[in-house]
Structure 1
Amino acid sequence: MKVAKQTASPIERPGRESWAIPPSRVAPWIGPLLLLTLFAGVLSGRDRLAFRDVGYFYTPLYEYVAQQCQAQHWGAWGDAIWNESDQTGMPLAGETTTAVFYPLRMLVYAPAWSAETAMGVYVVLHLILASLTAYALARRLRCSPWSAAIAGVGYPLSGMVLFLATNPPFLVGAAWLPLLMAPWIDGRAAIRWMESSWGIRLPNRQTGIDWAKAICIPAIAMAMIILGGDPPTALHAMLVAVVIGAIRWAILCSRRSDPRPAPGPTGQCQLSLPRSGHHHDGNPTRQRGICSVLRGEQVILADASGYQDRFAVESRWHWPTGLAIIGQMSAIVVLASILAAPQIAASLAWSARSDRVQDPGAPEISKIHDQALAFSVPPWRWMELVVPNLYGSPWPINSRWDRILFDGGRTRPETALWTPSLYGGLLLPVLIVFGGIRWWKSPARCRRYAGWPLWVLFLLPAAAALGGYFPVYPWLHRFLPGYDSLRYPAKWLPFVALAITVAAARSMHVQIVMQRWRTRAVRPSAVPQGGVASQRSGSIAWVSGSVVAGLILLGIGVLVANLEGRLSDPFWGPFVPDVAVAQYTFSVACVFLVLLAIGILRDPRWWLICLAVDLVVAHHQLVPTVDRAAESRLLAVAHDDQPSRRWMRINSDGGFPAEWSEQSDPDRILTVEASLRLARFGRWHLEHGDAVVNNLVSIGSREMAEFWHFAKTIDRSASDLPANHWRGWCRLLGVEGLLRCRGGQVTTPQTRAQQAMPVVTRELFKTPRLEAFSDGALHEETTSRYSSDPRDGSLTESASGLSATSLSVRTKFEPLTPDRAGAWRELLLDYAYESRASPARIPPRIANQITRQAGDGAPRVILSRPVYQDGYWQAVLTPRDSGRASDEEHPVAGVTSSRLAEVFQVDFLSQGVLCPPGKWRIAFQYAPWWHRPMLTLASLGWGVVAWVLAARHREASREKLLRKTL
C-alpha cells in the first residue's frame, strides 16, 4: 500500500497568519477556562452547589464515604464497609452511586476541605475532563485544533451535560463517554479480518492500530464510569457499539461484489475548485485530499489502489470480520470488568437483594416500573436545541410554560425536567446544516463514507430519550434482559450532546480547510463565475430563513404572554407570565445576535469565540448555587448537640410551608436548600451522625420496600388497629423517635424576604425497658457485648437504655411461612401492639436447628438486633472469663476458644445469632467472601494496564526521538 506524502494542511502551514504558540497547545484549554470562570464562586468556597441530588444527596454522602474510608488503614481497599445510617443498614459499596472505589473521588476528598468545596471540585474536575475527552475525540477524527475546540467547548457547556452537575454520578459517565465511544466512532481503531495474515487483524505497529486506542483506553473509560457510579451509561454505550458494529459489518458484506471505487485525481468532487489541469502546482494528491474533506474524513489519504484493495480483501472475509468486531467489544468489556471488579461484585450482590429484583410469585412492591418512563424528553423539547432557555426556567421563579401549553398544565413523571435546557449553542446545528448541504451537493462517491457512526450515536439515543413518546425505550424495557431494573430515559442525553458537538467539529474543520483552499491554493482567476451567484443566493436564503424564524418566534412570544398561571409548584410557586415573556424575549434576541455574528464573521475560528460567549450567557445560571454564609445564618438557630439516634422522618401539613406554593421569591433556592438541610432530607442526616430508616437511597433493600408496602396497606384497610400502631412498627425498625417536618401556615424562622421555613421537631419515644443492651460498634473486631444466661434468666447490660443497635433476647420464635405476604401481615399485626411480645420470625432451617438442639439438652437463645442481614454478616463468639464462682462451678463443656456463629435474618429487617449457654463476648463482622479476591483481581488488572501503557509511552518516545534524529 502506497501512502501519499503527508504535507501540512493549509490551516497549519506557516505564514503571515501563523501563531507564535501552536494551536494544539491553546485550543484544548478554552473549555476548561470557561468552566473555571463559571464555577469560580463554588471553587472559592463562597457558594455551594445546590438543587436536587448534588445539594441534599451527594454532598453529605460523599463526605460520609470519605470519612468511613479514611477511618480504615487501607481506605477503600481495606475491609468492606457497612453503612449503618441508612434504613436498617446497607453495604456502602453496594449502592453503586457511592463511588467507594472511584480513584478520582479518593483524590478529590483526600485534602481536608469542607464537604461543599470538595463536591464543587469534584464536579468541576469532571466537567473539565468532559471537555478534554471531547476535544481528544475530535482530534482523533482528524479535526484541526481550532475545530476540535468546538467539541471541547460545546460538549461540557451544553445543557444536556452541564446540568449533570446536579447529579454527579451521571456527570462521571458523561465525562468518560468520549473515550469509551472513540473506537466505534473512529473506524480506524476497529479490528478487522485481513487475508494477508490469514487471521484477525490484531492491533500492532504494522497495521497502524494501537492496542491502547483499540482496547485499553476504552476499557479504562468504561471501568471509570462503573466505579464512578453510572453503570447505565456503560450499558448504553455498549448498545450503541453493537448497532454501529452491526452496521459496519453489513457494509463490509455489501462490498463483496462491489468494492469501493478509488477516488482518482478528478475535479468532479470539488465545490468551486479548479480542475486538475488548472491547479497552481498540479498536485493531484491535494485534490484527493479535498475530495476526502467533502466526505468529512482526513485531508491526506492513502493511495487509491491500496485503499480499494484493502476493502476488497475485507469484503471477502466478512464473517470473520464480524467475529473480530465482537471480539474487540468483548475484550473491552472483560478488561473493564476486571478493573472495576470490586464495584461490580458489590453492586451485583446488593442488587440481588434490592427491591428492583423480585422473587417469583412475590407481590409487586417496587416503584421502579412506575418510574421507568419518568424524566422522558417530550418531542416539543427538542426545539431547545436551537433556542436557549426556550420554555423558561422553573426556579427560583416559576416561569416554565411548556407543560402548560403542550400537556394541559399537568404534572406527570414523564414530563419531569431532567435538565431545563437542551441547548448546546446555535453554532452547532448551523455547522451541521452546512455539512449536510456540502454532502448533498457533492458527487455520490464522495458521500458514500460520510460519518454515519455519528448519525447512529445521535438517532438511537435521541429515540431512547423520548421515553414513552417513542417505542425504543419501552421496547428495551420489555425485551432486553435486565433493562427493566433501570429508569429515566433522559440518561441517554449525553450521547446526543456528544454526537452533535463532534459532528459540528468535523463540519467546522471542513469549513476551515475549504476556506483556506479558496484563499491560498486557488488562483482568483480560477474561481468559477457561478461562485459569486451561489454566495449571493446563499445570503438571500440565510436572510429569508431568519425572517421566517423571527415571525414564528414572535407568534410564540404572543402566545406565552397570554398564558395563565394554571400550574403551581410546591417549591417555586405559581407560574409568572411576565417573567416568562421577559426570558423568552431575551432568548430570541440572543438567537438573532448569534446568527448575525455567524454571518458577519467570515473566519470560522471566530465562530469558536461566538460559541463560547453564547453558551456562557445562556447557561451562566443553569446550575443553581447558594451562598454558604447566608445558609449558615439560617441554620444557626437549628444547632443541637443531641446524641446520634435512629429516626423516622414524617411530614405534617404537607411538610413544607403553604406560602411556597402561593408566592414567588427570588431567594427561594436558598430557603428551600436550608429547609431541606434542617429537616435532614435526603442524606443530610449523615452530617450529624444520625440514622434515618426512610431516607432517600439509590437502591434500597427488598424487605424495606415490602415493609412500607404492607404497612401502608394494613394501615388503610385494618380498622381495629391501636391508635399508636405506627410506634409499634417503629420498634420493629429500631427507631427511637420521629423527625417531624411541619409545613402549612408557618411563619418562623424567616428569611430576609420574610418567607417562612418549615418547623422541624424531634420526638423521642418513651420506650419501656426491655431486655436489651447496646451494641454501638457494628463491624469492629473489638465489639464486646454479653449474652443472657438461660440458666437463671439474668441479663448483663453494658449500657443503659435501648439504642438503635441494641441486642434483644428472643426466647420465642416462629419459622417464616412460604407465604411472604401472609408472614408480613402477621408480623406487622403483632408489632402494632407495643405491649405484645412478638415471636422472632426466623428461617425454617434455623427453627429446625433450635428444635433439635433443645431436644439434645443444649438450649439456645436468639440474640437479635435491628440491622439488616444481606447474607455477609458473621458473628464471632468468644468465651468470657468473668472470674465468678458460679462460672467456675458450672463450666461450659467443650468451650475452649472462639467460634464462628451463623448470622441469620430475623423479622425480615433484623439479624440474629444463636447463643449457647454461658457468658460470651460477641463480635459482629461484615465480611463478604468476594471482597478480598475482587480487590486482588482489580489490583493486578490495573498493574498490567499501567505496565502496558508505560511501555507504549516509552516506545512512542523512542520513535519520536528517532524521527527527529533522521
Structure 2
Amino acid sequence: MKSRRLLATALGLGCLAALFLHCFGTALFRGEQFAFRDAGHFYYPLYKVVQDEWAAGRVPLWNPWENGGMPLLGQPTSAALYPGKLLYAGVPYAWGARLYIVAHVLLAVGAMFALMRHWRVSRAGAMIAALGYGFGVPVLFQYCNIIFLVGAAWMPLGLLAVDRLVRLRRRRAIVELAAVLAMQILGGDPQATYVVGLIAAGYAVAIAGDRERVGTPSRRRPLLVTTVIVLGLAAWVGLTIAAGAWLPGLRPEPTQTRPMPVFPWTPYASKALLAAWAVLAVLVAVAWRHSPRGRARMGTLAPLIGSAVVAGLLSAAQLLPSVEFNGLSSRAAQEGSHEIYAFSVEPYRLLELLWPNVFGVSFGVESTWLYTLPPYGSQKVWVPSLYLGGPVIVLAIAGFGLRGGPPGRGLLAAVALIGVLAGLGMYSSPLWYARFVPELAETLGPHDPSMTGPVRLDGELRDGDGGLYWLLSAGLPGFGSFRYPAKFMTFAALGIAGLAGFGWDRLAAGRARPATVTAGAILAITLVSVALLAANSGRFDAFVRSSPMTRQGGTFGPIHVEGARFETTRALLHAAAIMAAMIVLARLTPRRPGLASCAALVLLTADLAVANGRFILTVPQRLLDEGETPRALELIAEAEAEDPADGPYRIHRMPTWTPPSWRLERDPDRVDELIRWERATIQPKYGLLSGVEYTHTEGTAELYDIMFFFAPFQRRLRAEAARVLPYAEPGMDAVIFPRRGFDLWNSRYFVVPRYPDWEDEFRGYASFLPDTTPIYPDPDALDSMSDEGRQRLILEEDFQILRNEDAFPRAWVVHEVRPVEPIEGLDREDRVGRTIELLYPGPGDLFWEDPKLNAYDLTRIAWAEVDPEAPDILRGFVPGGPPSASERVEVVDHRPHRVALRASLDRPGVVVLADTYYPGWRLTIDGEPAPIIRTNHMMRGAAVGSGTHELVYTYEPDSFRLGLIGSAIGLVASLGLLGWSASRPTIGRGSPPPPPSHRP
C-alpha cells in the first residue's frame, strides 16, 4: 500500500512537472517574458516602479508619472505591501516578474490539492482537481492579469479555512482565514476577499441550520420547493420586463451637463442600501435570538466576523489608502458612471467547457469566429477559453450534488453554479433575451449599442439590468465598485474542479454509471457535431466569411476562415477522443483503481497541455529591456536637444490603437510585433520603464475629478474645421478632446495616430493639431516621399509626434483668483459646469465655440476653492494684474514623495503647481508649514509673498500612518488568537472530524 501511494504521488508530481515545463519552459529556460495584454503594458512597468521605490529606500506611496500624480500604494493593483513580492528580492527584476507568476500558479495547484485532501478526497482525485484548477484557462490565463491570479491562488486556502472554522469550529482557523483574506487584499484582489466572505457567510448559515436539524425528520416537500422556485423565476422574469418598460420614463430630462441622467434616487442609493442592510441585520439578530437555529447561526457567523476584522487590520496599511483613493475615483461616483457589465461571458461560450477552443483562437493566426455571433462584434473576451479539461467536466457532472454526500461537495456545487451565473453578467438578465422578440423590443428598446456607457443615451435600461450580476452590484454594499463579471468564472472553475475530485472518488468506489453516461452523452453530441460540420463545411465558411467582423479584421489580421473551421474541427475531435477515453476509464476504474488513477492523471495532463498550453504567450526579454530607448522617446530627445523645455513636462499618448496594416495581413509573430510597437510608441504604461510622465492614462481606476479635464465629447464639424482635417467633411460628427485641459496639465508632446478616424475616440486626434509643431514624421521628409512611401508610413508605423506650443509650464504665478466654493460629494453636474468654465478655449476655436461661455486667461487667473472656515486665506496675496516677465517658478526637485519649487515673485501671488491635489500632501514655505489651496479644480496652489521662496511639497498620508497602526494591532491580535486556540482548539460544540480515509 505504501509503495502504491509513493508511486501515485510520484506520478502526480511528474504530471505537474510536465504541465509546468510545457507551459512555462520558454519563460524559465529560454529567457522570455510574460508580456501579453496587461502582463506587458500594465503590470510589468507598474511593478518595476514599485520595486524601484523599495530599492531607493522609499515606501511606494505616490505615483507622479500618471494623471498629474496619483496614489501608488492606494492602487490595489500595485500590491505594494504584498509579502509575495519578496520573490523579487535578490534577483533581477525580469526574473522576479517570471517567478511571481509561476509561483502563484503552483500555489493555486498546491492550495487546491490541500483543500481536497482536507475534505478526505483521495490523492488521485485531489490531483485531478488541482491540475484542472491551476492549469484550466480561467486561472492559468490570469498571468495576463496578475492580481486576479494572486486572488485565485489563495482562494482554495480561503475555503479550507472557512470549512475548518464553520464546520469543524477550529479556533485557529480564525487566524488562518484572516491571513488568506489579508493576502488577497494585499495581493490586489479585494473582490476575491469579498466573494470568499460571502461564500463563508452562506456556508455558515447553511451549516448551522443543518447542525440544528440533526436527529429531526425533514419537512421538505420536493414538489412544493420546485413549485416555489418555478413561480419565483417566473415572477423575476415578469418584474424585470415590466421594469424595463416602466422605469425609463422616470429618468429626468437630459441637459447639457447630463446627456442622459441616471434615476433621481441614484445619488442616495448607496446610503439607503447601507441603512437597509443595517436595519435587516438588526431585525435578523432579534429574530434569531428567539430560536435555537438562529442562535446557532449567530454563533457560527461571529467567528467569521472576527476573521474579517482581523484581516482588515492586517491589511490596513494598504487597505486604508485604497479605500481613500477608491472613494474619490469614478467607481464611487454618485451617478453610477462606472461600467459593471464589461467582459460578461456570452452563454454559448459555456460550450468551451466541453470543447476546447471551439470558437477558434485570437492570436498567432486570427481564427476566431466568436464575433460573428450575438452581440455581433461587441464581445469582450476576458479569458480566451473556459476549458478545465474533459475529464474534469465529466467527473464534476458525475460528482455533482447540493445536499448530502461528503463534506464540501454541496459548497463547491453552489460555488460552481453561482460562479457560472454571475460570470454571465449582462446575459443573466431576462431583458437581453426579451429584446430578441421584436414585439417586446418595441417597448423595451433594442439591445445595447456597441461601446455603450453605464447609462444608455436613449434612456432605456441596460441589457444586464435585472440579472444576477446586477443584483450583486445593486444589492451588496460596495460591490458595484468592482468590474468584469467574467472574473466569477474563476470561482466557477474552483467549484467545477473540486467536484471533479469528488466525482473521481465516486467512480473509484464503483459507481461508474454517472461518469459513463455523461461521457457517452458528450461523445454522442460531439460526433453529431463533427458530422454536421463536415457535411456543411461550405455553409460554415460562407457564414464566417459573410460577417462584417471577418472583413474588418483585428490586431492579428483578418479572420482566416479555413483556420476557423480547422480550429472548430480540432476542438470537436479533441473532445471526442477525451470522451472516448473517459468511457474506457470509467469501465476500468472500479476493477483496477490504481491503474485507472494513473491513466486519468496522464490523460488529464495531455489534455490540458494540448488544449491550454498554447495560451501562455511570451516574448524575448530584449523587447522590454530598459537599455533600449523607445523610438518615440529617441525622437523627443532629439527635439529637446534643439529646443529644450524650461522644466519637467508631460507627454500625452492616446491610449489604444494599432497600425491599420495589421488588419490587412496575418503574422504568426504578431505578439512580438505588438509588444515591439507598443513599447516603441510608449503605450501606457510602457513609458514608466523610461521615466515618462503621462498626462492622462486609463487603468483600473482614476480620480473622478481628473477625468473631466480630458474626457472627449462629440461636435459636428464646421466647414473651416473640416478643411484642416484630412478625410473630413463638413457636418460630420467628430470626437473632440478638451485641448485646453491637456495644455493646462503641462503636455509638451502628443503621440497620436497617423491614420485618422475623426469619429473614433482612439484615433480622433483633431484637437491636438492646432498650435503644434510636427516632430515626427518630418514634414520635409514626407514631402520628398513617394505616395507609396507615405502610405507605408501610415499603414505600418501609424504614429506621429507633435510638440504642443501652448503647453503650460509645470508651475507658474498668478496674481488674480476666482474664489469658488469646494464641491462636496461626487456629483457630475457641479464638476461639468466648473471644468467647462476652465477649459473653454474662447471664440475662434475650430472645434468648440459657444457664444454663451466666457474664456479666461489661465496664465493670469486661477480658480481657488476657498474653505468657508478660512475665507481670508488669500487676503493680501491676489493684488490682480498679469505676472511680470521677471517672475518665475523653477522646479528644483521632483521625486515621487517630494516636490521642491523656487519661486521668485515681484509682488504677492499664488503659485500654481500642475500636480494633483490629494489628501496627504503637506507644504512648507521657507521651512514653515503653509496651507495647500485647491486650485483650478485639481491642482495645488500656495499663497506666496514677494521675493524668492522655497516651496516644498511632501506626501505624508494619514491613511498610511493609521493603516500601519491598524496592521500592528492586527498582528498582535493574530498572535493572541493563536495562543487562545492552542489552549482551547475548538469553539463550542463543533462537528467531530470524519474518520481517516482509506481511499488510494
Question: Fold match, TM over 0.5?
Answer: yes
Q: Is the 2:136–2:387 contact (alpha carbons within 8 Å) kept by the matching residues of 1?
A: yes
The secondary structure found in structure 2 opposite 1:815 is strand
Cα RMSD between the aligned structures?
Answer: 4.1
Counterpart position of 1:877: 925
Q: Is the 2:12–2:601 contact (alpha carbons within 8 Å) kept by the matching residues of 1?
A: no
How much does 1:916 deviate? 3.5
The secondary structure found in structure 1 opposite 2:394 is helix
How far apart are the structure 2 equivalents of 1:859 and 1:648?
Answer: 32
Counterpart position of 1:571: 555
How much does 1:668 deviate? 1.6
Q: Is the 1:659–1:756 contact (alpha carbons within 8 Å) kept by the matching residues of 2?
A: yes
Q: 2:580 aligns with which of 563, 580, 596?
A: 596
Counterpart position of 2:69: 89
Counterpart position of 2:966: 937
Which amino acid in 2 is paired with 1:849? D
How far apart are the structure 2 equivalents of 1:867 and 1:825?
Answer: 20
Relative to structure 1, the CA distance from residue 925 to residue 510 in structure 2 (aligned partners, 3 Å threshold; closer, same or farther) is: same
Is residue 555 from structure 1 mapped to residue 532 from structure 2 by the alignment?
yes
Q: Which shows bigger deviation, 723-732 or 479-488? A: 723-732
How far apart are the structure 2 equivalents of 1:743 and 1:49?
Answer: 30
Which amino acid in 2 is paired with 1:673? I
How much does 1:763 deviate? 3.0
Which amino acid in 2 is paired with 1:467? G
Alignment of 1:759-908 (within 5 A): 759-766=798-805, 802=809, 806-816=810-820, 819-829=830-840, 837-845=859-867, 848-850=871-873, 852-853=875-876, 860-878=908-926, 898-908=927-937
Q: 1:388 aligns with which of 345, 352, 356?
A: 356
Relative to structure 1, the CA distance from residue 391 to residue 431 in structure 2 (aligned partners, 3 Å threshold; closer, same or farther) is: same
Q: 2:611 aligns with which of 602, 618, 642?
A: 618
The secondary structure found in structure 1 opposite 2:384 is coil
How much does 1:759 deviate? 4.3
How far apart are the structure 1 equivalents of 2:737 and 2:610?
Answer: 56
How far apart are the structure 2 equivalents of 1:245 and 1:677?
Answer: 50
CA-to-aligned-CA distance 1:717-764 (integer Å, 9 cap, x gap): 9999999996643331121221234247999999xx999642444333
How much does 1:88 deviate? 0.6
Q: 1:338 aligns with which of 313, 316, 325?
A: 313
Relative to structure 1, the CA distance from residue 638 to residue 554 in structure 2 (aligned partners, 3 Å threshold; closer, same or farther) is: farther
CA-to-aligned-CA distance 1:493-538 (integer Å, 9 cap, x gap): 11111111111112212333449xxxxxxxxxxxxxxxxxx98x99
Is residue 140 from structure 1 mapped to residue 104 from structure 2 by the alignment?
no
Alignment of 1:511-590 (within 5 A): 511-514=507-510, 546-556=523-533, 558=537, 560-565=540-545, 566=547, 567=549, 568-590=552-574
How much does 1:90 deviate? 0.4
How far apart are the structure 2 equivalents of 1:23 and 1:538?
Answer: 22
Q: 1:605 aligns with which of 589, 598, 611?
A: 598
Alignment of 1:452-471 (within 5 A): 452-470=410-428, 471=467
Relative to structure 1, the CA distance from residue 706 to residue 70 in structure 2 (aligned partners, 3 Å threshold; closer, same or farther) is: same
The secondary structure found in structure 2 opposite 1:670 is helix
How far apart are the structure 2 equivalents of 1:915 and 1:450?
Answer: 66
How far apart are the structure 2 equivalents of 1:448 and 1:156?
Answer: 23
Q: Which shows bigger deviation, 493-502 or 549-558? A: 549-558
How far apart are the structure 1 equivalents of 2:349 and 2:934?
Answer: 49
How far apart are the structure 2 equivalents of 1:54 and 1:139?
Answer: 33
Is residue 923 from structure 1 mapped to residue 952 from structure 2 by the alignment?
yes
How much does 1:335 deviate? 1.0
How far apart are the structure 1 equivalents of 2:75 and 2:837?
Answer: 30
Relative to structure 1, the CA distance from residue 157 to residue 101 in structure 2 (aligned partners, 3 Å threshold; closer, same or farther) is: same
How much does 1:456 deviate? 1.2
How much does 1:827 deviate? 0.9
Relative to structure 1, the CA distance from residue 609 to residue 664 in structure 2 (aligned partners, 3 Å threshold; closer, same or farther) is: same
How far apart are the structure 1 equivalents of 2:404 and 2:492?
Answer: 26
Counterpart position of 1:426: 390
Q: Is the 1:135–1:149 contact (alpha carbons within 8 Å) kept by the matching residues of 2?
A: yes
Which amino acid in 2 is paired with 1:210? R
Is residue 48 from structure 1 mapped to residue 33 from structure 2 by the alignment?
yes
Q: Is the 2:397–2:515 contact (alpha carbons within 8 Å) kept by the matching residues of 1?
A: no
How far apart are the structure 2 equivalents of 1:27 and 1:955?
Answer: 37
How much does 1:702 deviate? 1.2
CA-to-aligned-CA distance 1:25-57 (integer Å, 9 cap, x gap): 774674365224411111235222132111111
Which amino acid in 2 is paired with 1:233? A
How many residues get paired? Answer: 769
Q: Which shows bigger deviation, 38-47 or 946-955? A: 946-955
Relative to structure 1, the CA distance from residue 124 to residue 953 in structure 2 (aligned partners, 3 Å threshold; closer, same or farther) is: farther
Counterpart position of 2:689: 687
Counterpart position of 2:235: none
Alignment of 1:140-179 (within 5 A): 140-179=118-157
Q: Is the 2:129–2:392 contact (alpha carbons within 8 Å) kept by the matching residues of 1?
A: no
How far apart are the structure 2 equivalents of 1:951 and 1:325?
Answer: 18
Counterpart position of 1:305: none
Counterpart position of 1:277: none
Q: 1:64 aligns with which of 38, 45, 49?
A: 49
The secondary structure found in structure 2 opposite 1:18 is helix
Relative to structure 1, the CA distance from residue 87 to residue 45 in structure 2 (aligned partners, 3 Å threshold; closer, same or farther) is: farther
Counterpart position of 1:407: 374
CA-to-aligned-CA distance 1:348-393 (integer Å, 9 cap, x gap): 111122122225xxxx5x752xx31111111111111111111111
Identity over the aligned pairs, expressed in percent? Answer: 24
The secondary structure found in structure 1 opposite 2:361 is coil
How far apart are the structure 2 equivalents of 1:754 and 1:949?
Answer: 66
How far apart are the structure 1 equivalents of 2:408 and 2:558?
Answer: 49
How far apart are the structure 2 equivalents of 1:689 and 1:449?
Answer: 53
Is residue 125 from structure 1 mapped to residue 154 from structure 2 by the alignment?
no
How far apart are the structure 2 equivalents of 1:725 and 1:511?
Answer: 62
Alignment of 1:452-491 (within 5 A): 452-470=410-428, 471-491=467-487
How much does 1:189 deviate? 3.5
Which amino acid in 2 is paired with 1:765? N
How much does 1:250 deviate? 3.9
Relative to structure 1, the CA distance from residue 447 to residue 508 in structure 2 (aligned partners, 3 Å threshold; closer, same or farther) is: closer
Counterpart position of 2:751: 739
How far apart are the structure 1 equivalents of 2:343 and 2:745?
Answer: 32
Q: 1:706 aligns with which of 690, 705, 708?
A: 708
Is residue 211 from structure 1 mapped to residue 171 from structure 2 by the alignment?
yes
How far apart are the structure 2 equivalents of 1:754 and 1:120?
Answer: 35
How much does 1:173 deviate? 0.6
Counterpart position of 1:353: 328
Q: Is the 1:874–1:926 contact (alpha carbons within 8 Å) kept by the matching residues of 2?
A: yes
Counterpart position of 2:4: 18
Relative to structure 1, the CA distance from residue 27 to residue 324 in structure 2 (aligned partners, 3 Å threshold; closer, same or farther) is: farther
How far apart are the structure 2 equivalents of 1:224 and 1:234?
Answer: 9
Relative to structure 1, the CA distance from residue 712 to residue 909 in structure 2 (aligned partners, 3 Å threshold; closer, same or farther) is: farther
Q: Is the 1:240–1:456 contact (alpha carbons within 8 Å) kept by the matching residues of 2?
A: no
Q: Is the 1:227–1:343 contact (alpha carbons within 8 Å) kept by the matching residues of 2?
A: yes
Is residue 239 from structure 1 mapped to residue 198 from structure 2 by the alignment?
yes
Counterpart position of 2:488: 492
Counterpart position of 1:110: 89
The secondary structure found in structure 2 opposite 1:495 is helix
Which amino acid in 2 is paired with 1:609? V
Q: Which shows bigger deviation, 419-428 or 317-326? A: 317-326
